[in-house]
Amino acid sequence: MIGAGSQICMDAANKEIDPNEEESKGGSGAVGKMLLSGGEEGLALLNYVPPAKLDTVDAEEWMKATLKEVGGDVHMVKTSKATCSAYIKQDQASNR
């Protein structure tokens, strides 16, 4: 299923840049994104809609549109208005 690692990566990508740090990390909170993580048992997906786009983009609708194209044994969990996570179980019979 959706592991903590995907959420940690999303949080790291969206964090504000600290101008006092030597190396810039994060800073993409204004950009919508979808992270995918494949493993032996399936594919985990986590998306993020930035606050400025919440009036026009719904995380769950975006995820549903993506999953419709991918298909398979889908399990979806709505985590907030700005994020949605899903998991597609591996189907060995169809080699997906």
4-62 pLDDT, tens digit each: 778 888 888 888 888 888 777 788 889 999 999 988 889 999 999 999 999 999 999 99
Tell me how far apart the 2 most distant CA atoms of the chain are, in Å: 53
In this prediction the pTM is 0.82
The whole-number pLDDT of residue 20 equals: 84
The domain total for the chain is 1
Residue 57 maps to a domain? yes
Whether 59 maps to a domain, the answer reads yes
Tokens of 35: 């992270």
Residue 50 lies in domain: 4-16+32-94
Indicate whether 45 belongs to any domain: yes
Do 45 and 85 contact (CB within 8 A), yes or no? yes
Does the residue 23 lie in any domain? no
